[in-house]
A = this chain, B = another copy of it.
């Protein structure tokens, strides 16, 4: 731990014990319910984390970019779901990844046009058809007439359906999350049944977001679930009662670079890039700001938030002047992130583990 606190700041710190416990808990949760966990690797973007996330299985994972697909396929991962709608300008790259690695990239789409484009292309990748269960981003309603036409166009390439209840993040009420989870499952199962009745071979019924996977009353009819932030957790999940504070596995090491007593603030060298500008945690944890400032060694929260961020400055309001004595200029602190996926994607390129190991991560497209 001492070495980690001496790193140049800002630095991205990962606690492997918390990570392993978080990953194991979700794997066990899915195992008990008889569903496969297809972890979302957009959160860690790291092969080392992905091995743990899959319990060593190294297959059946989710990604959000073709750069992630390329990276994980190249590292030996198989059955990689690219969970963002495919378009023809990405077909060539999908083919290259498959040919170069021999691994399977599963595609996602939600329109007759794209089903026809895939079917007419040289690609023979499996495809999941996306259902909109209420998030109103990608997908079509489960009862949409086009679902069976999409399946028909895809023929044997259609292997199932997927949906994502992103709207579960709108509430911190676990009963409400459970209702949304039930709706997520119902929409996916309904779409799968309709497509199956029309002759499609639907073997995969994929649902999930970390909150809905944890709170779903039943996963009957579901074959697999997707979750990612359960690996790291963050203040968004803590504020939504999805995790405990000491489940949060990723923090940002930062240095106090200034005291502005006249203005009543202190400044950290962790700003909009090191922490991200995501403020979603504040909806259910109004003190979250851009992150909670903690003692670097104990991770005890100091009652301070990063209140304002500029590109490389984080400004912390100070109510008690004793704070300046407690945190002299040059002190290192650790910041619990609001949204760990975006914080980790700030450009660090690596995780520094609290035990001294260094794990690479990728960014970009």
Residues of A at the B interface (CB closer than 8 Å) are: 6, 8-11, 42, 64-66, 84-90, 93, 110-111, 113-114, 117, 130, 132, 136-141, 144, 166, 255-260, 262-263, 265, 267, 269, 272-274, 276-279, 308, 310-313, 315, 328-330, 332, 341-342, 345-349, 363-365
Known: A263-B132, A345-B347, A364-B347. A137 touches B89 (CB 8 A): no
Known: A8-B93, A141-B262, A329-B111. A85 touches B342 (CB 8 A): no
B-chain residues with CB within 8 Å of residue A260 when the two chains form the complex: 110, 132, 136-140
Choose among B136, B262, B349, B364 the residue that contacts A140 (Cβ–Cβ < 8 A).
B262
Establish whether residues A85 and B258, one from each chain, have CB atoms under 8 Å apart when the complex forms. Answer: yes
- Chain A interface mostly: loop
Give the Cβ gap from A328 to chain B, nearest Cβ, in Å: 7
Which residue among A258, A330, A348 has the maximum number of chain B CB atoms within 10 Å of its CB? A258
What are 19 A-B contacts defined by CB distance under 8 Å?
A6-B89, A8-B66, A9-B365, A42-B312, A84-B269, A85-B269, A85-B329, A87-B256, A111-B259, A137-B258, A137-B310, A138-B258, A140-B260, A273-B345, A277-B277, A277-B342, A311-B341, A346-B364, A348-B364
Establish whether residues A364 and B341, one from each chain, have CB atoms under 8 Å apart when the complex forms. Answer: no
Give the Cβ gap from A163 to chain B, nearest Cβ, in Å: 13
Name the CB-closest residue of B to A261. Answer: B140
Choose among B85, B86, B130, B330 the residue that contacts A117 (Cβ–Cβ < 8 A).
B330
Establish whether residues B113 and A328, one from each chain, have CB atoms under 8 Å apart when the complex forms. Answer: yes
Name the CB-closest residue of B to A331. Answer: B87
Name the CB-closest residue of B to A87. Answer: B330
B-chain residues with CB within 8 Å of residue A87 when the two chains form the complex: 255-257, 269, 329-330
Establish whether residues B66 and A258, one from each chain, have CB atoms under 8 Å apart when the complex forms. Answer: no
How many subunits of this chain does the assembly comprise? 2
Name the CB-closest residue of B to A11. Answer: B365
Give the Cβ gap from A339 to chain B, nearest Cβ, in Å: 9
B-chain residues with CB within 8 Å of residue A328 when the two chains form the complex: 113
Known: A140-B260, A311-B64, A347-B364. A113 touches B342 (CB 8 A): no
Name the CB-closest residue of B to A332. Answer: B89
Known: A113-B329, A138-B257. A312 touches B84 (CB 8 A): yes
B-chain residues with CB within 8 Å of residue A136 when the two chains form the complex: 260, 262-263, 265, 315
Name the CB-closest residue of B to A255. Answer: B87
Name the CB-closest residue of B to A280. Answer: B277
Q: How far is the CA of A363 from the CA of B362 in the complex (A)?
A: 12
Q: How far is the CA of A139 from the CA of B259 in the complex (A)?
A: 8
Which residue among A65, A257, A279, A328 has the maximum number of chain B CB atoms within 10 Å of its CB? A257
Give the Cβ gap from A168 to chain B, nearest Cβ, in Å: 13
Give the Cβ gap from A282 to chain B, nearest Cβ, in Å: 13
B-chain residues with CB within 8 Å of residue A256 when the two chains form the complex: 87
Establish whether residues B88 and A137, one from each chain, have CB atoms under 8 Å apart when the complex forms. Answer: no
Known: A85-B258, A89-B255. A365 touches B348 (CB 8 A): yes
B-chain residues with CB within 8 Å of residue A255 when the two chains form the complex: 87, 89-90
11 further A-B pairs in the complex, CB-CB below 8 A; given A272-B278, A277-B279 = A8-B66, A85-B258, A136-B263, A136-B265, A138-B258, A138-B260, A139-B258, A273-B363, A345-B347, A348-B365, A363-B363
